[in-house]
């Protein structure tokens, strides 16, 4: 984050600074929850809270923060709860008196359920949960990216289980993140890229592996391979295109190595059929490497099939135990125009032609990390209860013009059924009566400025992967 944006007091919407004056007299506590109300997918993968807490809430609020906020908000024309923030600094050493409970990261939860709850632990800070809505609701982003990536994993898994002898080994590298250049900020790339790595291990987004290392104790969460881009190929000139490809083999092709070469700078068909399929064929085979050809334009469904067909004529294939053909020495990666629908279309086409899904890897850039918004999964963080003069009352909205925006009521928790795997959101007072097969799914993650529970990246991955296996079995 840019240093001039580091003041937590100013990490909110302008109008939030007036809300401490708007609650009923005698308000002592407020209870908020976050959910995906629906959207593109019926289930979401929870991820990113630990990173947000570590990077945005771990540092105590200071007197200098208060002074800056007072100056900015005064000039901005907004009231400032200076007494409330000074109370936090003086009484709590600048640590926020909050309790955040959430589902474990990597958990796959049906929409319309509470993913986390936020409440104040000091009656004087009844206004604080609402104040942090802006910051916490940005969790929609890593959750949405993790959700998209997980659903693509489920999709590819189905094709691999049907067409590959070794689906478990193939799956982690079947979707590669090319999104770093297509997002709005370095922070976005790191958090969104790490969300992708919950389900896959291939990435060119270095900030993603740094996020996983710093926030989730994962030494190396993602991997890449040497790969050409158009500039490194076209700099040789059109007449020396084959020399550019030969140089890639000279530099990177070793027994067991993998390298990717973009090959559509001029004519993908000429490059595949004549250069890779004829002139360089013996060099590819003798190198012992796997060369991944990358088309980067045209109709991906047709182009991938055409490339596989031409490469099979040149290098041959073997038929695996599932009865599908696997190319020798070469593979294809398709990164242009990819989204869940086009990935499915490519896989349907090539498997219908008898090719194993092993032959193709996919890349996503903007479609993975940027072509999403809060409405993709309809995220909201709402107040559902308030304690006023010692008594809890339900807080909710019920707009007649949009029943889909009706919010939940009461102090809430999420229960998980250990037998069926079902989830349901209930009032905390009802949890004990739910039955022995129902268990609390929310855990206290953060309280009074300190982590109460942290997750490792490996544990998050295992949780999400187990849900993929359950999805496939279903």
Domain 3-138+378-473: homologous superfamily in CATH: nicotinate phosphoribosyltransferase (3.20.140.10)
- The pLDDT of 246-272, averaged and rounded, is 98
Asked if residue 2 has pLDDT above 80, the reply is no
pLDDT in tens, 440-473: 999 999 999 999 999 999 999 999 999 987 654 4
Q: Would you state the pLDDT for residue 474?
A: 40
- Between residues 433 and 280, which one has the greater pLDDT? 280
pLDDT-above-70 percentage for the chain: 99
Q: Would you state the pLDDT for residue 92?
A: 98
Q: Would you state the pLDDT for residue 470?
A: 67
Asked if residue 263 has pLDDT above 90, the reply is yes
Residue 205: which pLDDT band, with cuts at 50, 70 and 90?
very high
Q: Would you state the pLDDT for residue 473?
A: 43
pLDDT in tens, 129-152: 999 999 999 999 999 999 999 999
Tokens of 10: 């100013």
Q: Which of 414, 444, 446 is nearest to 428 (CA)?
A: 414
- The pLDDT of 354-368, averaged and rounded, is 96
Domain map (residue ranges) of the chain: 3-138+378-473, 154-369
- The pLDDT of 292-318, averaged and rounded, is 97
Mean pLDDT of the residues in the chain: 96
Q: Contact at 8 Å (CB) between 423 and 467?
A: no
Rounded to whole angstroms, the Cα distance separating 69 from 41 reads 40
Tokens of 325: 């053909």
Q: Put the strands of the sheet holding 98-102 in their side by side order.
A: 391-394, 379-388, 27-36, 114-120, 98-102, 443-447, 450-451
Rounded to whole angstroms, the Cα distance separating 347 from 393 reads 53
Q: Would you state the pLDDT for residue 418?
A: 87
- The pLDDT of 54-77, averaged and rounded, is 97
Q: Which of 18, 20, 90, 98 is nearest to 58 (CA)?
A: 98
DSSP secondary structure letters along 281-346:
HHHHHHHTPEEEEE--SS-HHHHHHHHHHHHHHHH-EEE-TTS-EEESSEEEEE-TT--HHHHHHH
Q: Would you state the pLDDT for residue 471?
A: 56
- The pLDDT of 175-187, averaged and rounded, is 96
Q: Contact at 8 Å (CB) between 270 and 238?
A: no
Q: Contact at 8 Å (CB) between 34 and 136?
A: yes
What CATH number was assigned to the domain covering residues 154-369? 3.20.20.70
Q: Compute φ and ψ for 438, nearest 5 degrees.
A: -100, 135
Residue 301: which pLDDT band, with cuts at 50, 70 and 90?
very high
Q: Would you state the pLDDT for residue 4?
A: 87
């Amino acid at each position: 984050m840019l240093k001039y944006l580091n003041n937590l007091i100013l990490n909110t919407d302008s109008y939030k600074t007036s809300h401490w004056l708007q609650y009923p007299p005698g308000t002592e506590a407020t209870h908020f929850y976050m959910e995906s109300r629906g959207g593109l997918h019926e289930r979401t993968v929870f991820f990113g809270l630990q990173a947000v807490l570590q990077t945005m809430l771990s540092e105590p609020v200071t007197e200098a923060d208060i002074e800056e906020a007072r100056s900015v908000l005064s000039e901005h024309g907004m009231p400032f709860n200076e007494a409330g923030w000074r109370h936090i600094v003086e009484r709590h050493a600048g640590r926020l008196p909050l309790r955040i409970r959430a589902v474990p990261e990597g958990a796959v939860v049906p929409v319309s359920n509470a993913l986390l709850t936020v409440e104040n632990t000091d009656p004087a800070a009844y206004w604080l949960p609402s104040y942090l809505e802006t910051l916490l609701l940005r969790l929609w982003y890593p959750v949405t990216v993790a959700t998209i990536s997980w659903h693509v994993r489920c999709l590819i898994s189905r094709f691999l289980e049907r067409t590959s002898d070794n689906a478990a080994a193939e799956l982690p590298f079947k979707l590669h993140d090319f999104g770093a250049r297509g997002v709005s900020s370095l922070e976005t790339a790191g958090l969104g890229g790490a969300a992708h790595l919950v389900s896959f291990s291939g990435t060119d987004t270095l900030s993603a592996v740094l996020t996983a290392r710093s926030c989730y104790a994962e030494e190396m969460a993602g991997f890449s391979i040497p790969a050409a881009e158009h500039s490194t190929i076209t700099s040789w000139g059109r007449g020396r295109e084959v020399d550019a490809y030969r140089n890639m083999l000279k530099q990177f092709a070793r027994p067991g190595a993998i390298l990717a070469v973009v090959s559509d700078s001029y004519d993908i068909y000429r490059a595949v059929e004549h250069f890779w399929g004829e002139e360089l064929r013996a060099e590819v085979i003798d190198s012992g490497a796997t060369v991944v050809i990358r088309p980067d334009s045209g109709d991906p469904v047709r182009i991938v099939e055409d490339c596989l067909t031409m490469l099979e004529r040149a290098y041959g294939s073997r038929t695996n135990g599932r009865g599908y053909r696997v190319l020798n020495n070469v593979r294809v990666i398709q990164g242009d125009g990819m989204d869940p629908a086009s990935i499915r279309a490519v896989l349907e086409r090539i498997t219908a032609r008898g090719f194993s899904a092993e032959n193709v890897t996919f890349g996503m850039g903007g479609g993975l990390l940027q072509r999403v918004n809060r409405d993709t999964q309809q995220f909201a963080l709402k107040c559902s209860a308030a304690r006023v003069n010692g008594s809890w009352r339900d807080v909710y909205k019920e707009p007649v013009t949009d029943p889909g925006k009706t919010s939940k009521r009461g102090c809430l928790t999420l229960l998980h059924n250990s037998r069926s795997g079902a989830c349901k959101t209930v009032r905390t007072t009802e949890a004990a009566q739910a039955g022995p097969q129902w268990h609390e799914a929310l855990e206290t993650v953060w309280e009074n400025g300190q982590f109460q529970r942290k997750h490792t990246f490996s544990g998050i991955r295992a949780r999400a992967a187990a849900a993929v296996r359950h999805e496939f079995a279903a």
